[in-house]
A and B are shown apart, each in its own frame.
Chain A
Amino acid sequence: MSARRRLSLGERLVIAAPYLWIGAFFLAPMLLVAKISVSQSALARPPYRPIFEFSDSLADIWSKAQNFTLDSYRALISDTLYVESYLSSLTIAAVSTLITLIVAYPFALAMARAPERMRPILIGLAAAPFWTSFLIRVYAWIALLKDEGLINNALIALGVISAPLQMFATPGAVVVGIVYSYLPFMLLPLYAALERQDPSLREAAADLGASPAQVFLRVTLPLSREGVIAGALLVFIPAVGEFVIPDLLGGSETLMIGRTLWNDFFSNHDWPAASAAAIALVALLMIPLLLWERARLREGERAQ
Chain B
Amino acid sequence: MSAASSWARRATLIVGFVFLYAPIVILAVMSFNTSRLVSVWGGFSTKWYAALLENEQLLHSAKISLAAALTSAAIATLLGLFAAIALARFGGFRTRMLFFGAVHAPLVLPEVVLGLALLTCFVALGVGRGFVTLVIGHVTLTMCFTTVAILAAMRDCDPALEEAAMDLGATPPEAFVRVALPQIAPAVITAYLLAFTLSLDDLIIASFATGPGATTLPMRIYSQVRLGVSPQINAISTLLLALVAVALGLAALVSHWRVRRER
Binding site for B on A (CB under 8 A): 1-5, 7, 10-11, 14-15, 17-19, 21-23, 25-30, 32-33, 36, 46, 103, 106-107, 109-111, 113-114, 122, 124-126, 128-129, 131-137, 139-144, 146, 148-150, 153, 180, 183, 237-238, 240-244, 247-248, 258, 261-262, 265-266, 271, 274-275, 278, 281-282, 285, 289
- Decide if B222 touches A25 in the complex (CB within 8 Å): no
Report chain A residues within 8 Å CB of B110: 238, 240-243, 258, 281-282, 285
Complex Cα distance, B139 from A24, in Å, reads 12
Contact status A136-B139, CB under 8 Å: no
Q: Does B120 contact A (CB under 8 A)?
A: yes
In the assembly, what is the distance between CA of A162 and CA of B164, in Å?
Answer: 76
Complex: A180 Cα to B120 Cα, angstroms: 33
Complex interface: chain A residues within 8 A of B44 (CB)? none
Partner of B111, one of A4, A33, A122, A243: A243
Nearest-neighbour CB distance to chain A for B78, whole angstroms, equals 8
Query: What residue of chain A has the Cβ atom nearest to residue B28's Cβ?
Result: A140
Q: Which of B113, B201, B203, B222: most chain A Cβ within 10 A? A: B113
Interface centre among A124, A133, A141, A275 (most CB of B within 10 A): A133
Count, chain B residues at interface, CB 8 A: 81
Residues A126 and B102 in contact, CB atoms below 8 Å apart = no
Contacts of A30 in B (CB 8 A): 117
Chain B residue at minimum C-beta to C-beta distance from A285: B108
Inter-chain pairs besides A5-B91, A21-B140, A139-B237, 13 sampled, C-beta below 8 Å: A1-B92, A5-B92, A17-B82, A25-B140, A132-B241, A133-B240, A135-B225, A136-B237, A139-B225, A141-B23, A238-B110, A261-B113, A265-B116
Stretch at the interface among B8-16, B46-54, B55-63, B178-186: B8-16
Q: How far is the CA of A136 from the CA of B203 in the complex (A)?
A: 11
A240 neighbours in B (Cβ, 8 Å): 110
Task: Name the residue on A nearest B84 (C-beta).
Answer: A18
A-B contact count (CB 8 A): 226
Q: Is the CB of A107 within 8 A of B86?
A: no
Residue of A with least CB distance to B139: A21
> Given contacts A1-B91, A15-B99, A136-B237, is CB(A248)–CB(B225) below 8 Å?
yes
Chain A nearest Cβ from B80, distance in angstroms? 7
Q: Is B83 an interface residue (CB 8 A)?
A: yes
Q: B residues near A, CB below 8 A?
A: 1, 5, 8-10, 12-13, 16-17, 19-21, 23-24, 26-27, 30, 37-39, 78-80, 82-83, 85-86, 90-94, 99, 102-103, 105-106, 108-114, 116-118, 120-121, 123-124, 136-137, 139-140, 143, 147, 172-173, 197, 200-201, 203-204, 207, 218, 221-222, 225-226, 228-229, 233, 237, 240-241, 244-245, 247-248, 252
Please give, as numbers and ranges, the residues of chain B lying within 8 Å of A23 by CB-CB distance: 102
Q: Is the CB of B90 within 8 A of A244?
A: no
Contact A261 B112 (CB under 8 A): yes
Q: Say whether B86 contacts A15, CB under 8 Å.
A: yes
Residues of A within 8 A of B124 (CB): 32, 46
Contact B39 A133 (CB under 8 A): no
Of A7, A26, A132, which one neighbours B90 at CB under 8 angstroms? A7
Q: State whether B26 touches A144 (Cβ < 8 A).
A: yes
**Nearest CB of chain B from residue A148's CB, rounded to whole Å:** 6
List of B residues within 8 angstroms of A262 by Cβ: 112
**Beta-carbon contact of A110 and B13 below 8 Å:** yes
Residues in B neighbouring A27, C-beta threshold 8 A: 102
Contacts of B12 in A (CB 8 A): 106-107, 109-110
Instruction: List 21 contacting pairs A-B, 8 Å CB cutoff, sorted by A.
Output: A2-B91, A11-B86, A17-B79, A17-B82, A21-B139, A22-B103, A26-B105, A46-B124, A124-B248, A134-B201, A136-B240, A139-B221, A139-B229, A142-B229, A143-B26, A143-B27, A149-B38, A183-B20, A243-B112, A275-B116, A285-B108
Of all chain A residues, which has the CB nearest B116? Answer: A278
- Of chain B, the residue at the smallest CB distance from A149 is B38
Q: Which 4 A-B pairs have the closest CB atoms?
A: A241-B110, A29-B117, A29-B121, A107-B16
Contacts of A28 in B (CB 8 A): 121
The interface residues of chain A lying within 8 Å CB-to-CB of B117 are 26, 29-30, 32-33, 278
Q: In the complex, how many angstroms separate the beta carbon of B235 from the nearest chain A beta carbon? A: 12
Complex partner residue of A136 from B92, B106, B207, B241, CB under 8 angstroms? B241
Interchain nearest-CB distance for A16 vs B (Å)? 8
Q: Are B19 and A248 in contact (CB under 8 A)?
A: no
**Complex interface: chain A residues within 8 A of B13 (CB):** 107, 110-111, 114, 122
| Contact of A137 with B140 at beta-carbon distance under 8 Å, contacts A110-B9, A110-B12, A149-B38 already known | no
Whether the Cβ atoms of B108 and A237 lie closer than 8 Å is yes
Asked if B244 and A131 make an inter-chain contact with CB atoms under 8 angstroms apart, the answer reads yes
Contact among B10, B80, B121, B226 with A248 in the assembled complex (CB-CB below 8 Å): B226
B116 and A33 form a contact (CB under 8 A): yes
CA distance in complex: A111, B240 (Å): 28
| A261, chain B: closest CB distance, angstroms | 5
Task: Tell me the minimal C-beta distance from A292 to chain B in angstroms.
Answer: 11
Minimum CB–CB distance from B90 to chain A (whole Å) comes to 6
CB neighbours (8 Å) of B233 from chain A are: 139
